[in-house]
Chains A and B, each alone.
Chain A
């Protein structure tokens, strides 16, 4: 009997409830029984940025089961993917040995041969073309120790900022949004705020599919709390939109007008918090986009004049969202006891992603709905360690660890001293960002590129041109991957087999500043190795080839992950991220700790920027503050910025030739590019391939029914997919998940990016849809 998607959803839901009360469920037909575990090891789910605590069940030397950690924030709950996590380790397509390309095929080689070749290519290129001829592209799925270490090798060791990572494709706008508004990255709030909020404002987040366990808290609050209001702003009628008290449906790319109009209502109706605005904010506008952008401080009166034009009527005309909805949302937002906002890629993956982030923060600052339980402005994260490793750890090409910037002279000097490298070693010019890096690789400016723990051969926008670059015979591409072939490793010159998840140990930092230790539970398959081990080996060999062997012995003297972690703690000391007190020993025992954790007896900080609710750094950085202090924004007197950001539409709106908007995202059972979830039989059966969601009215006009084949064409590419006619996307919008390696939807998406964050606009491009 075939086990259907619906049966799997039911079983997964039942499993979550049964786990919550410690009830063992019999397995239905079609689901393979897991062997009984005889030992449980604490860890973190491998998938999204929610960062659910798990216990990994072992029988002998094999992972046989995974269950939720009841003492962690997720209360023992796991989503459908987390429930079926164990099989990702034992997939048939695990990369087991180093592989070298020989024409159209790969040949197994030894690790020594692989490392010799890689090092010789890098060294040769550096000697011939300089350090900016080599690069590294990392991942929000790598452990913090891996991201921190490789960043040190490139920025502090080699002196090149040719290092970026896939969070540039998903979180960069949120990061720059936080920095431009509050002075430092990362949310001030926590998931705990959900238990205190009586108004939820979700915008650009399909939480029910992309962050299912977080959604369960919202769902619970909505069900139990009589007065809890849920506002969802989304051009799709997702499950969470259907559960909402108010679904603000709008034309994709017009939400900046809506957010400004909500501010307009709040100001016009005198719903703003004068005391909070007066004590804790400044006002700014960009007078010249640059680069670098020219910013000017302005006044409250300037702001009021700026939002004058954003009437609800104007926003309705621009966005299609009824003005009554905008007014209602603004009133609920301002008048509720505690309002929390949550957003994800719908805001971030945009050419105006940073501005959209700023405008959500504006609403919180105007109303004082911030820095107290239930009132917060919270960006959800897509990957398990985009925050901990890549944003906090400073892997991105413009960053240094723990809030420091490449472009800041003092920050560079601090890190040069800390790392013990020559003054002036760190290049003062930020390096290329993800899309720029692959453009550079296409052109041959970057001749050697190492990609680790990510799949840009499927996930980059406007994919066709970058796949061609990765295939080039004139450059050298190394891919460290747990699976082969992936749509990236198939293009590599050299494939390095990577240990996966609990085959190695390390630290993950999720959306709410919670760092969690993942213990090694089993040995890697075959000859796979932990990336950190390979990176350390690479660094020593490369520096030896460059005649800098002694220097490498000094600056890369690590025996394992704990040495790196201790250096990371020291690098955070004294910064606004301070987690000096988060020792390995504490992390092993704790169910995650939220930074700042400045001392070894500090319990962690649930809410930042508020002394009243426990942030001890307020007194350190702003001794005069009685409670709230945005101490990351020292230059603005510890005040956050309310930005004057006008509405600007997408880079490529729909037009007569390409009349539909294509947006991409996730599907409940699949994660990212499917390398892991496609290896879980239950998930593969439940969601075997990607499809295109079409609104029923559009489908009727096109003469298309569910399961018909449709051709989708953008200015960059064309693809045939199966149609799913469903009342989820609004008219004029079509939607596809990007997980299917056989349906590369990113061949169609646009690589235009935000001028500030450099994050591409995956969420909006113009397409034509025809019956195939």
Chain B
């Protein structure tokens, strides 16, 4: 099962809404925010679910980009 961290870059004005949406997604853990960047970890059962979550985040209002940082796997 893959574990991947990413930086979600956002429009600051949408910060609270994006944080709220991220917190409601079951595979996502939010670790913190600095300026317009949010650190998340996606903890998914498969790569497909991980990619689906990434697409969902990308489609949120106020999200500029999702940038993967670190991936590993726990079988």
Measured CB to CB, the residues of A under 8 A from B are 5-6, 9-10, 12-14, 16-18, 20-23, 25, 77, 79-80, 208-209, 212, 215-216, 219-220, 223-224, 238-239, 242-243, 668, 724, 726, 728
Contact = CB atoms under 8 A, between A and B. Distances in A.
Interface string B3-45: 1111100000000000000000000010111110101110100
A724 B75 contact: yes
B74 A223 contact: no
B64 to A, nearest CB: 13
Given A9-B3, A9-B74, A239-B2, A23 B68 contact: no
B5 A13 contact: yes
A80 B47 CA distance: 20
Contacts of A6: 1, 3, 43, 74
A209 B70 CA distance: 12
B74 A5 contact: yes
Contacts of A219: 68, 71
B73 A14 contact: no
Given A16-B5, A17-B7, A239-B2, A25 B68 contact: no
Interface of B: 1-7, 29, 31-35, 37, 39-41, 43, 47, 54, 67-75
A77 B70 contact: yes
Contact of A17 (B6, B43, B73): B6
Question: Shortest 7 CB-CB distances between A and B: which pairs?
Answer: A13-B5, A16-B70, A17-B5, A239-B73, A17-B69, A14-B31, A13-B70
A527 to B, nearest CB: 39
Query: Quick one: which of A5, A14, A215, A728 has the most chain B CB within 10 A?
Result: A14
B4 A13 contact: yes
B70 A21 contact: no
Contact of A220 (B2, B35, B37, B67): B67
Contacts of B2: 239, 242
A14 B34 CA distance: 13
Query: Quick one: which of B2, B4, B5, B34 has the most chain A CB within 10 A?
Result: B5
Contact of B39 (A21, A215, A224): A21
Given A6-B3, A13-B4, A215 B31 contact: no
B75 A728 contact: yes
A209 B68 CA distance: 17
B69 A9 contact: no
Contacts of A9: 3, 72, 74
A726 B75 contact: yes
27 contacts: A6-B3, A6-B43, A6-B74, A9-B72, A10-B41, A10-B43, A13-B3, A14-B29, A16-B5, A16-B70, A17-B5, A17-B7, A17-B39, A17-B40, A21-B35, A22-B34, A23-B37, A23-B39, A79-B70, A208-B71, A212-B70, A216-B69, A219-B68, A238-B73, A239-B2, A239-B71, A239-B72
B68 A223 contact: yes
Query: Quick one: which of A239, A243, A728 has the most chain B CB within 10 A?
Result: A239
Query: Quick one: which of B6, B70, B73, B74 has the most chain A CB within 10 A?
Result: B70
Nearest to A216: B70
Contacts of A23: 31-34, 37, 39
B39 A18 contact: yes
Given A13-B41, A18-B31, A242-B2, 8 more contacts: A10-B3, A10-B43, A12-B72, A16-B70, A21-B7, A80-B72, A220-B67, A223-B68
A209 B1 CA distance: 14
Query: Quick one: which of B54, B68, B72 has the most chain A CB within 10 A?
Result: B72
B35 to A, nearest CB: 8
B6 to A, nearest CB: 6
Nearest to A26: B32
A215 B2 CA distance: 14
A208 B72 contact: yes
B57 to A, nearest CB: 12
Contacts of B75: 724, 726, 728
B37 A21 contact: yes
